[in-house]
Amino acid sequence: MVDIESLGDWRRTHYSDMITPSLRGTEVTIFGWIQDLRDLGNIIFVTLRDKEGLVQITATSKNTDAETFAKIKSLGRQSTVGIKGLIAERSEAPKGVELIPKEVRILNLAVPPLPLDPTGRVPAEIDVRLDARVLDLRRPEPQTIFRIRHEVLAGIRKFLSEKGYLEIHTPRIIAAGAEGGATLFTVEYFDEKAYLAQSPELYKEELTSVFEKVFEIGIFFRAEESHTRRHLNEFISVDVEEAFVEARDVMVLQEELLVSILNRLTTRCQEQLEVLQVKLPNVHLPLVRYSYSEVIDQLKQNDFKVEWGEDLSTPAYRALGDLHKEVFYFITEWPTKVRPFYIKPKAERPEICDAFDFMYEWIEITSGGSRVDSKQQLTKRLEDQGLNPESFDFHLSTYDYGMPPHAGWGMGLDRFVMALLRRENIRDVVLFPRDRLRLKP
């Protein structure tokens, strides 16, 4: 029986990546998990993982006292330990350095058998991985993905803040949905029935009349029935909205954001991108803009059955991904009737609206457009789409306070990261994904 010890007054002095030959002879305290252990009798090689990487611990019955040596011998994989020891050079070890342990504290034991191998040597199915997600995330690939995701988020906020957009937080529990009731989750709000917001759409539009340029990055909800590799029921949306501009202006913003993030990752995440074997795409601005009509023609020319006016189906999108050589592009000028009520129809040709999608191959990353700014037109558009204007009374009333012309977009952060890192399944870039079949862990 191994006793669990407490942290006591031990505190980390070094991470694994700081253990270098130049520190030879230095006493350090490190913490981490047993990644691997080779017990050769009188010598034990331990690989310890911490958040920065791996370090080799070499215990010999000669260099390490009997009690500590026995303790190390008892360690199972993924158990949590603290180790005090001396740094020594060792040419055979990774990075040419190892730690000679002087004192070990066993902080917790992993209980075998583990449901999957967190070194990544034995591949596991996605559902096994997601069931034991915390263990799965210890593999080098997810570790790397979430460090890059952190950089993407920081880069987006920096880009938008520097351009003068104000960060906002809009409600998640709402009385009416921005896009109708089909994909809303219901919440019991005390004695009332309420819904979970699908987007900050109407709130961010209203706030352009106050702050002019706003953004929100947050979790939103969609009661999506379809179980695909690019849909989740909880997702992070990056929303931007701006007064006194049109769709074409915020499309330029989207392009510039893309380039800004690609540059940031190139500068700051080269090592991580190599772990993932990802080469970032070369992007030249302006990106190609295909109109919806052009896209329909392209599909028809390639014998794809589709009619002008239809929304694009998944097979149609997949065909477009094959037809277009660009990694990123826009589709613009959609039929008004397949777009939400808040998108502005073209004055000169109202069956077309000023909407756009920002595409990664065959997957939509961002949807945006110029918004309706007249109360009368908005009321009409609600009615045309079978929605009850009375449910939107609070929103409509804000149009009486002087609504500016405005435009904006909502980008799926998870899809954006998926595109940048060329992952096949959105679940690989989300810590604890939620879908039709998965509410746990």
Residues 303-332 that bind its own copies (CB under 8 A): none
Q: Name which of 141 and 326 has its Cβ closer to its own copies.
A: 141
Q: Is 147 in the site for its own copies (CB under 8 A)?
A: yes
Distance CA 136, CA 301 (A): 45
Contact 49, 16 (CB under 8 A): yes
Q: Name which of 58 and 170 has its Cβ closer to its own copies.
A: 170
**Rg of the chain, C-alpha, whole Å:** 27
Q: Is 181 in the site for its own copies (CB under 8 A)?
A: no
Contact with its own copies (CB under 8 A) among 181, 309, 384, 394: 394
Candidate ranges 94-102, 103-111, 251-259, 272-280; the one touching its own copies (CB under 8 A): 103-111
Q: Name which of 98 and 136 has its Cβ closer to its own copies.
A: 136
Contact with its own copies (CB under 8 A) among 231, 324, 395, 423: 395
Shortest approach of its own copies to residue 28 CB, angstroms?
Answer: 14
Q: Is 43 in the site for its own copies (CB under 8 A)?
A: no
Q: Is 25 in the site for its own copies (CB under 8 A)?
A: no
- The residues in 226-255 that bind its own copies, with binding defined as CB under 8 A, are 233-234, 236, 243-246, 249
Q: Name which of 11 and 62 has its Cβ closer to its own copies.
A: 11
Contact with its own copies (CB under 8 A) among 84, 90, 102, 138: 138
Letters for 250-289 (x = contact with its own copies by CB under 8 A, - = none) are ----------------------------------------
Contact with its own copies (CB under 8 A) among 44, 46, 198, 221: 221
Q: Is 388 in the site for its own copies (CB under 8 A)?
A: no
Please name which of 139, 190, 191, 196 lies closest in space to residue 170, comparing C-alpha atoms: 196
Helix or strand or coil: residue 314?
Answer: helix
> How far, in Å, are 376, 391, 433 from residue 196 at the CA level?
27, 15, 17
Q: Is 185 in the site for its own copies (CB under 8 A)?
A: yes
User: For residue 322, which amino acid is it?
Assistant: D
Please give the structure tokens belonging to residue 149.
Answer: 């995701």
Q: Is 187 in the site for its own copies (CB under 8 A)?
A: yes
Contact with its own copies (CB under 8 A) among 3, 92, 125, 192: 192
Shortest approach of its own copies to residue 52 CB, angstroms?
Answer: 9
Strands (E), 304-377: 328-335, 352-360, 363-370
Helix or strand or coil: residue 261?
Answer: helix
Which residues are CB-contacts of 245 (< 8 A; sequence separation ≥ 6)?
405, 406, 407
Q: Is 171 in the site for its own copies (CB under 8 A)?
A: yes
Contact 254, 411 (CB under 8 A): yes
User: For residue 420, which amino acid is it?
Assistant: L
Q: Is 432 in the site for its own copies (CB under 8 A)?
A: yes
CB atoms within 10 A of CB 432: 13
Length of the chain counted residue by residue: 441
- Residue 354 CB-density burial (10 A; 0-12 exposed, 13-18 middle, 19+ buried): buried
Shortest approach of its own copies to residue 94 CB, angstroms?
Answer: 20
Please name which of 119, 97, 109 lies closest in space to residue 23, comparing C-alpha atoms: 97
